[in-house]
């Protein structure tokens, strides 16, 4: 277990003597949907470790509100990237599970769920949210884990005093159906509030593997979430959020279906007696393995010599039948394959627990203490290859990444926020611990 501890100072001060500066500097601020003819929806963000209106936060930030996520159907990182200028995916896996991101061309982006560090992974992060905040540029002053590209903050819906909820269902082709819902239960108004929700999503794969007679690229996941808020006194609040997600797919997401090939691609020249320099190609000529095999070496050499004697250009190949395989794939089309380089096909199995406990104590009107304690457990098994075409040469680059045991991480973030000098000076001090 490796530990990192950053103590005593995660401080930031901001002089707000001129109140009109803040909205003027809020570049790329949220543009929430209108809630009335002349009124904008108020979006509360936590980009500076305190609750503030998005329109007044003086940092480079884009906020996607809950209404925007519903109307634009934001369900994963790919959907989110469409709404964030300069936010692109790099080297990720499937649409629902893309993990690697760039902000403004700079790599290194971390995710935070309710202000606790969490992997940018999986559909559970997009269920029953209040908003998503994307901070651009280096982060670290107010966050325990420093990043160069930025940070993505997910804020889930909190329990309220209203007994309410929602249920949503949808269906489509490829056997797709989705059910999600949540209910808000004020057990003791203002004192003990609970919110419970979940989602089920099933979609058949759209790539059919003839060899294994199975569909690839399906999307199946289940989400559960429970949030409990307790306020034993007016100046103390404790909120605990428990997330669970199970995600399964017959597809790792990094594979591709080869469609075109140049079998004459030359990799090297092999000098042979009498024959001379013979080009080593991708797919033209006898197999290199046949020349290296003592049982077939003489026959292969005589074949090359015969081509040379007839005035042709002899060549060797890594994979003599590659052109035929590509021709077969073109006949099958984009959504059918003859077989993969992996026995049983690629797959992803992912199970995650995420628990965040947030305690807030208001010392007085000017000073507040907050502690964010989190636990994350990941059990991931993934098997992938560079190609969905059954070519032994590509099978050599097959990557199998099993994780027999869960990956566990803990984080604790202690914050002291306050205001001085008639509210002209605001500050945040903190200590952060991360174990994984």
**pLDDT tier at 196, thresholds 50, 70, 90:** very high
287 against 46, higher pLDDT: 287
Query: What is the secondary structure of 23-91 as a DSSP string?
Result: HHH-TT---PPBSSSS-BPP-EE-TTSS-EEGGG--SSEEEEEHHHHHHTT--SHHHHHTTSTTEEE-S
The residue among 158 and 339 whose pLDDT is bigger is 158
What's the CA gap between 98 and 121, in Å, rounded?
6
Which pair of structure tokens corresponds to residue 75?
């369900």
Give 188's pLDDT tier (boundaries 50, 70, 90): very high
The C-alpha atoms of residue 80 and residue 87 are separated, in whole angstroms, by 9
Cβ atoms within 10 Å, residue 293: 12
| pTM of the predicted model as reported, rounded to 2 decimal places | 0.73
Q: Residue 126: phi, psi to the nearest 5?
A: -110, 10
Per DSSP, the three-state class of 156 is strand
Most trustworthy range by pLDDT among 30-44, 61-75, 311-325: 311-325
Provide the pLDDT for residue 58: 57
Confidence (pLDDT) at 98? 45
Cα 186 from Cα 128, distance rounded (Å) = 18
Domain coordinates of the chain in residue numbers?
3-156, 266-333
Q: What is the pLDDT of residue 11?
A: 36
Question: What are the DSSP calls for 273-342, one per residue?
Answer: TTTEEEEEESSSSSBHHHHHSTTTHHHHHHHHHHHHHTT----EES-TTHHHHHHHHHHH-SSEES--SS
| Mean pLDDT calculated for residue range 401-413 | 78
Beta bridge partners of 230: 192, 238
Band (pLDDT 50/70/90 cuts) for residue 397 is very low
C-alpha distances in Å from residue 158, one per residue of 114, 129, 165, 311, 414: 10, 9, 12, 80, 21
Dump pLDDT digits (tens) for 160-180: 999 999 999 999 999 999 999
Instruction: State what percent of residues in the chain have pLDDT above 90.
Output: 37
Q: Taking 80 as the threshold, does the pLDDT of residue 142 lie above it?
A: no
Tokens of 76: 């994963």
| Average pLDDT, rounded, for the chain | 79
Q: Which residues contact 147 (CB under 8 A, 6 or more apart)?
A: 108, 109, 110, 138, 139, 140
Rg (alpha carbons) of the chain, rounded to whole number: 28
Residue position matching structure tokens 């000073």: 367
Distances (CA, A) of 305 to 69, 182, 282, 320: 67, 75, 20, 18
Residue count of the chain, please give it: 436
CATH of 3-156, one of 2.170.130.10, 3.90.79.10, 3.40.50.1010, 3.40.190.10: 2.170.130.10
């Amino acid at each position: 277990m490796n530990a990192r501890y950053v103590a005593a100072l995660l401080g930031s001060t901001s002089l707000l003597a001129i109140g009109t500066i803040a909205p003027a500097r809020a570049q790329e601020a949220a543009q929430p949907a209108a809630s009335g003819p002349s009124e904008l929806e108020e979006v509360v963000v936590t980009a500076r470790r305190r609750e503030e209106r998005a329109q007044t936060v003086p940092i480079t930030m884009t906020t996607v509100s809950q209404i925007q996520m519903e109307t634009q159907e934001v369900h994963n990182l790919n959907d989110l990237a469409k709404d964030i200028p300069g936010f692109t995916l790099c080297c990720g896996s499937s649409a629902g599970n893309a993990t690697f991101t760039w902000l403004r061309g700079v790599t290194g982006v971390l995710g935070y769920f309710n202000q606790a560090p969490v992997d940018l992974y999986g559909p559970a992060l997009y269920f029953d949210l209040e908003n998503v905040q994307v901070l651009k540029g280096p982060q670290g002053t107010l966050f325990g884990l420093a990043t160069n590209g930025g940070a993505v903050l997910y804020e889930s819906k909190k329990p309220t005093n209203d007994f309410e909820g929602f249920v949503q269902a949808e269906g489509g082709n490829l056997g797709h159906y989705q059910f999600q819902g949540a209910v808000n239960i004020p057990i003791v108004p203002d004192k003990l509030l609970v919110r419970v929700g979940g989602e089920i999503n099933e979609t058949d794969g759209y790539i059919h593997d003839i060899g294994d007679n199975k569909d690839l690229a399906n999307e199946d996941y289940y989400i559960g979430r429970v949030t409990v808020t307790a306020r034993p006194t007016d100046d103390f609040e404790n909120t605990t959020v428990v997330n669970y997600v199970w995600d399964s797919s017959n597809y790792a997401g990094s594979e591709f279906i080869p469609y075109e090939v140049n079998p004459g691609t030359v990799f090297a020249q092999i000098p042979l007696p009498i024959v001379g320099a013979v080009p080593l190609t991708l797919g033209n000529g006898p197999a290199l393995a046949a020349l290296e095999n003592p049982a077939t070496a003489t026959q292969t050499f005589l074949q090359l010599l015969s081509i040379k004697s007839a005035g042709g250009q002899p060549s060797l190949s890594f994979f003599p039948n590659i052109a035929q395989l590509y021709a077969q794939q073109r006949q099958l089309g984009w959504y059918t394959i003859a077989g993969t380089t992996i026995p049983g096909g690629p797959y992803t199995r992912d199970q995650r627990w995420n628990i965040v406990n947030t305690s807030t104590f208001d010392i007085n009107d000017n000073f507040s203490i907050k502690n964010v304690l989190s636990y994350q457990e990941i059990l991931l098994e993934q098997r992938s290859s560079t190609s969905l075409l059954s070519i032994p040469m590509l099978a050599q680059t097959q990557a199998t990444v099993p994780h027999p045991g869960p990956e566990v991480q803990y984080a604790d973030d202690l914050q002291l926020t306050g205001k001085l000098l008639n509210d002209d000076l605001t500050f945040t001090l903190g200590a952060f611990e991360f174990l994984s």
